[in-house]
Amino acid sequence: MKTRGISIVIIFLIIISSFLDWGAMNQTSYARESLSNTNVSTSSILEDTFISSQNPSTSYAQSQYLVTGNHSNFGTTRSFLKFQLPSLPKNAVITSAKLDLYQYYDTTNLVTIDIRPVNSTWSASTLSWNNKPTVGNSISNQAVQKPGWYSFYITELVKSWYNGSSNHGVAVQFRDETQATKIFYSKDHLKYEELKPKLTITYSVPDETKKEYRALWVDMFHDGAKTPSQVDKLIKDAQMSNINTIFIQVRRRGDSYYSNSIEPRTEDPNLQSGYDPLADIISKAHAANPKIQVHAMFSMIPIWNKSSAPKDPNHIFNAHGFNQPSANNWLSKNYSGSYLSGSDYVVDPGHPDAVNYTRDVLLHVVRNYDVDGIQMDLIRYMGEDWGYNDRSVQRYNQAFGKTGLPQPSDPTWKQWRRDQVSNMVRKIYTSIQKVKPSITVSTATITWGDGPKTRDDWNRSSAMNSALQDWQSWLEEGSIDLAVPMNYFREYDPKQKSYFENWLAWQKNNQGKRMTLSGVGVYLNSIPDSLSQIKKAQTPLATGKRLGGVSLYSYAQTNKDGVANSEFYQALSTPNTNYPEPVFPTKVPTPDLPWKTSPSKGHLSGTTDGRDHQLVMITGPEVRQTYTDGSGDFQVVDLSPGNYVIKVNNKSAQVTIGAGKVSSISLK
């Protein structure tokens, strides 16, 4: 799914005629640019020269050297180069333009040399200090000292030439022109053909059959999407980065960062009064060219994290917190009876009313906003010793004929809690598909510790045993469209680097019926290390298996080193000296999801008389079985189309499953 284009490199060898005797040349070693896996064509520039303040009316159009800086014979010198550009394919996307100059003068002084765009016309044959053209500000620079190749990226300038701006070439100029000169070989040097200047333009012709998700997580614990101007910047940054999907947090702790909601508006003072961030992001992202997808992200089970109660009496924490009677208390607690997980209060996936309420919160957004997707975050337990809501324990004991509190490590109790999370995911998935089948449903999932290599390793993983989140089964049965494992590991730590790579291998090999993206914890890494992790995620296995893309956490903090976020966004898409190989060099669409665009399976949603944990038998083109949840409901995903008989206890009914549809049945 990674976009691959036809990478083409065009190298212009700059050739200048004539001769100026600077003495014997003894610098014969140099660094050559690798051109492997590229196509190369050679063309000449139009002209180049240098100018001298000491000889202000003299033209040096026939010099075989490009002189810059303060020279004893020429005074202040500057060099000029102007390129003849070839035609590129109509849909070509320039990913880099790099000017390489070979400095041969063996002097010890270290100087900064700037490349500046030339703003007016000039001709090498007549150019002199007296009639020199105007130039703009520096667009690229290098610290130059010893002999060798020096690279200057001028990508945006070259792009502008292809987009219709006048091509007047570039000036090469010292930042401090009092410093001693540096001398570069030029077009027609008589002895060192291979050391002549060159401009390398790399571009790709996108293969539209190759697509990938390039997602960005935007959380609401930071600013970034709380005012119209912040959203404007978010869209601009996404476009700069060639991001095609935004996972925007719309629920932090039982609250709303959108206006049309069944939950209270957030108490966040930084959210502009009366402003609807979700509506604004959808409008601006969908208007972008190309369109950027918007997926509304919900923190599913945490509902409050402050010492004082929410101001709104209807907030879920007030209406269904620990001050409510047992059956109406939806909060999870741990084995010792504490309701606090760190600073968070969380609802229990084992309480059926909490599940149905949370589903309805998501469905309200699906019905009222033009979102492309819904993402469930924090849909799990807070640890092995969590899940002891009174109603949840009562249901478990009734289902298995037990009494008292089960031990946290009890295998049956652990599996039952996994089932509660999976039932919640499945119920939400089928409910959304019934309302709007085009919506993509994803989950942000746990990857604590080392990545598994075998199924036994998976069964021993923290996801299965601490978070009690069997997200692998969700991919295998088809109760989500995308899994986005949060592969948050430090690339510079050898152990964590190995963890990251092991998780990637597992995820590429084990996507079940659906698709997996790799979450990348850019906030933990330097920019180069994050780029390395993204490349690893994009690279297919030897078998050809690949992920559907990546999601980057987070928009608010793009690196561990305090480097400006803008530098990270540019590094994703545009090569420069520090980050020469962008991971998103062109804009690409998101992948097609064939089970949604051309479905061959359907889904079933059923209700019964409300009894919990009742066996449901499904017979037809396929034979399946499941159990009712705490509301007496059941869901089955990815059934082959056809007629089925559904049986619960002594009741049965027939239902027809259609491809791409959710069929409903009642056995009350």
| SS3 label, residue 468 | coil
Distance CA 372, CA 362 (A): 13
What DSSP element (H or E) covers 144?
strand 140-144
594 to 153, 600, 636: CA distances (angstroms) = 41, 9, 19
Residue carrying the six token digits 């898409």: 573
Look at residue 207 in the predicted model and tell me its pLDDT: 63
Q: Where are the alpha helices (DSSP H) in 376-447?
A: 390-400, 411-435
Residue carrying the six token digits 């999801």: 593
Distance CA 314, CA 263 (A): 8
Q: How many CB atoms are closer than 10 A to CB 470?
A: 22
Mean pLDDT by 10 residues, the chain (668 residues): 38 33 26 30 69 96 93 96 84 84 89 97 96 97 94 93 94 96 87 85 72 98 98 99 98 98 98 98 98 99 96 97 92 98 98 99 99 99 98 98 98 98 99 98 98 98 98 98 99 98 98 98 98 97 95 98 97 91 94 96 97 98 98 98 97 98 97
Sequence-separated (6 or more) residues with CB below 8 Å from residue 103:
144, 146, 147, 148, 150, 182, 183, 184
Distance CA 168, CA 135 (A): 10
φ/ψ of 82, rounded to 5, equals -135, 130
Distance CA 408, CA 597 (A): 42
Q: How many CB atoms are closer than 10 A to CB 37?
A: 7
Sequence-separated (6 or more) residues with CB below 8 Å from residue 459:
none
Look at residue 38 in the predicted model and tell me its pLDDT: 35
Distance CA 408, CA 402 (A): 14
Of 358, 504, 378, nearest in space to 424 by CA: 358
Distance CA 337, CA 258 (A): 34
234: burial class by Cβ within 10 Å (0-12, 13-18, 19+)? buried
* Domain architecture of the chain: domains with CATH: 8-204 (no CATH), 213-596 (3.20.20.80), 599-667 (2.60.40.1120)
Angle of CA points 479, 484, 486, to nearest 5°: 135
* pTM, two decimal places: 0.77
DSSP label at 305?
Answer: -
Q: Could you read off the pLDDT of 340-365 as tens digits, one per residue?
A: 999 999 999 999 999 999 999 999 99
DSSP label at 333?
Answer: -
Are the CB atoms for 299 and 251 separated by under 8 Å? yes
Distance CA 188, CA 139 (A): 26
Look at residue 27 in the predicted model and tell me its pLDDT: 26
Residue 11 structure tokens = 């190298």
Question: Which strands form 662-667's sheet, in the order they lie side by side?
Answer: 633-639, 602-608, 662-667
Distance CA 308, CA 319 (A): 14
Look at residue 195 in the predicted model and tell me its pLDDT: 87
Distance CA 141, CA 68 (A): 14
124: burial class by Cβ within 10 Å (0-12, 13-18, 19+)? buried
Look at residue 21 in the predicted model and tell me its pLDDT: 28
Are the CB atoms for 166 and 157 separated by under 8 Å? no
Look at residue 289 in the predicted model and tell me its pLDDT: 95
Angle of CA points 344, 347, 351, to nearest 5°: 160
